[in-house]
Amino acid sequence: MPGMPLRNDRILRYVNAFCPECHTSQPERSLTEVQRLGGYLAEEEGRVWLVRGCPQHGKITTLYDESAEIMRYLEEWTAPTKVHTPDTPNNWQPIPGAYLQGLGEMQTQHTCILLEDITQHCNLCCPNCFASSSPELA
């Protein structure tokens, strides 16, 4: 019996993500109610892909960054911090739900550069939405 075929990509790191199909089916749900899925970022042919497996929808692959080289460069940036002062001590909830209560214990650096990707699956209802364009805000 043959084994699994060799991979065409290179795993960069493992991440937690959610299924865009599950989120689209019930966009009014709170972030804390959206199931977290194990996944990974993988480089293939110079691009970075977010790959995760949903029990209901199977393997889902989304373009994460068009250039793995630029992503590596940007990830090397750091900003000096004076003191780590969490906004909410003892906040150990999983991310991104933990951010609803401010920065938690696991946050080790303040935000110095924010890069937010708005995808075609965005419903503009996240509590941290910089677009502030949710239909409920109209």
- The CA-to-CA distance between both ends of the chain, in Å, stands at 59
Q: What are 5's two structure tokens?
A: 């075929």
Q: Is there a domain that residue 92 lies in?
A: yes
Range of the domain at 86: 79-110
The structural domain count of the chain equals 2
Distance CA 52, CA 36 (A): 10
Integer Cα distance of 21 and 112 in angstroms: 31
Encode pLDDT of 18-71 as tens digits.
888 887 888 888 777 778 899 999 999 999 999 999 999 999 999 999 999 999
Specify if 40 maps to a domain: yes
Residue 127 CA to residue 102 CA, distance in Å, equals 11
Its pTM stands at 0.56
Residue 28 lies in a domain: yes
> Is 43 domain-assigned?
yes
Q: How far is CA 54 from CA 12, 15, 60, 105, in A?
A: 20, 14, 7, 29
Domain membership flag for residue 119: no
Which residues, in sequence order, are bridge partners of residue 60?
52
